[in-house]
Structure 1
Amino acid sequence: MNAESEEPVRRRLSRAEAKARTRALLLDAAARVFARKGFTGASVEEIAESAGFSIGALYSNFGSKEALFLELLSHRQTDRIAEAAQTLDRYEPGTGEAAAELGRLLIDVADKDIDFAPLQAEFWLYAVRNPHVLESMAANLSGPRRALEGVISTSLAQQGAPAGVSAEAVATVVAALFGGLVRQRRIDPDSVPEELFGQALKWLFVGINAGTAPAATDGD
């Protein structure tokens, strides 16, 4: 058997696999270009060229620069939520280890993923000024939001929260808390120490449970 026959035969990608690979390469290129240029400064031409594709390939896969950015944002949020869910699965509820790990997750996002938080802020302003983009943003991020609601629902059940507490509402508060603390950490790192996010989550859940206590009467 000669050397050539020992070489593995490269399997031709299916159409779906080729499309998925193209999208992944475009997303990777977009992340790099957006990080360097910002959302407004980045051009579809530069993103496509960086990925090794034509502008037509970019538009056929994502439709617009806004849709490309929203897909990238959705992936980032989904990854973070999955990481948080894995953290909660590793520890017993109420022991403190999970809160500490979630605090470290926030610090990693704030201190290591330093380009994306400003990008999110820039895109939020862009979307507010373009209502049709704002609607697309809400629709595109519904998947990560549902994933977060699932994590919150599990935590509420583990901590004995009343059945009437809305996982959707708590997820909204947790998402806002996380995003706000990331931005504050970038402004003033000392004001957001590693343990703060976990502690804030404890305050939130203690408050949720305390809200079910019967009100005191005048005779108590």
Structure 2
Amino acid sequence: MSRLRTRPTRDDTRDRLFEAAARIFEEQGIGGASIEAIAAAAGFTRGAFYSNFKSKDELIIAMLADHVEQSIRRNLDLLDRHKNLADFIDALKNMDKSRQDPLGRSPLLHMEMILFVARAEKRRPDLAKRLRARRKLITDIVETTLKNSGRNGSLNPAWTGAIVLALEDGFRLHRLIDPETTPADSFLRAISDLQRAIGISSA
């Protein structure tokens, strides 16, 4: 009796390529990583890679898009369960990172990939879409937590969201440059300090 041969779905193939690419990028650098090495690390042929992505740049854009989509779902789910800022920050601190996508598990790789893509001017509009989506997510979080703290209208959520996002990316870049003086939790610590400074209660 012959066995049924099961093939990975398109989503499974992409996920395996994402995981393999993250490993190869961290080991060999983004610029030095070859499509052959990524495909082999995922257990696929070069042809399987090209059936999903036209180039390494397209793979990277897809990984960034996937990360933003997963981050939005994850954060909105947390916000639904933790509606004040202090509790939301605590939930972020205690989140199980092992279950996140490769870029969620490695914020430094995320920043490296953003910088790599940003060097190509024609790719910047793709990055801009992800940036706007991230900014809107943080704006929604700020708006919801301000409303639930009774301080709705005390701050401009869109501008505050832009500041918070710049702060997050800044700490990621600083950690990439000088990890010794930039702890992994620097961003969340800074947000907690700001929350106390502007007097948003945890009630």
- In structure 1, the residue matched to 2:168 is 178
- In structure 1, the residue matched to 2:194 is 200
List alignment gaps of at least 5 residues for structure 2. none
- In structure 2, the residue matched to 1:25 is 16
Aligned to 1:36, which of 2, 19, 27? 27
List alignment gaps of at least 5 residues for structure 1. 207-220
Q: Give the AA of the match of 1:72.
A: M
1:134 aligns with 2:124: yes
Q: Give the AA of the match of 1:200.
A: L
- In structure 2, the residue matched to 1:218 is none
Distance in structure 2 (CA, Å) of the matches to 1:141 and 1:92 = 24
Instruction: Label 1:10 to 1:40 Cα distance change in 2 as closer, same or farther (>3 A).
Output: same
Distance in structure 1 (CA, Å) of the matches to 2:136 and 2:187 = 28
Q: Displacement of 1:132 after TM fit?
A: 0.7
- Per the normalisation by structure 2, the TM-score is 0.69
In 1, are the aligned partners of 2:108 and 2:172 still within 8 Å (CA)?
A: no
**Matched positions, count:** 189
- In structure 2, the residue matched to 1:51 is 42
In 1, are the aligned partners of 2:139 and 2:157 still within 8 Å (CA)?
A: no
Percent identity reads 26
Q: Give the AA of the match of 2:181.
A: D
Distance in structure 2 (CA, Å) of the matches to 1:205 and 1:78 = 31
Q: Displacement of 1:101 after TM fit?
A: 3.4
Distance in structure 1 (CA, Å) of the matches to 2:120 and 2:199 = 36
Q: Which moved more, 1:31-40 or 1:78-87?
A: 78-87
Per the alignment, in what secondary structure is the counterpart of residue 40 of structure 1? coil
- Per the normalisation by structure 1, the TM-score is 0.64
Aligned to 2:80, which of 89, 108, 127? 89
In 2, are the aligned partners of 1:103 and 1:197 still within 8 Å (CA)?
A: no
Distance in structure 2 (CA, Å) of the matches to 1:91 and 1:114 = 20
What is the Cα-based RMSD across aligned positions, in Å? Answer: 3.8
In 2, are the aligned partners of 1:77 and 1:144 still within 8 Å (CA)?
A: yes
Distance in structure 1 (CA, Å) of the matches to 2:198 and 2:62 = 30
Instruction: Label 1:27 to 1:99 Cα distance change in 2 as closer, same or farther (>3 A).
Output: closer
Instruction: Label 1:114 to 1:89 Cα distance change in 2 as closer, same or farther (>3 A).
Output: closer
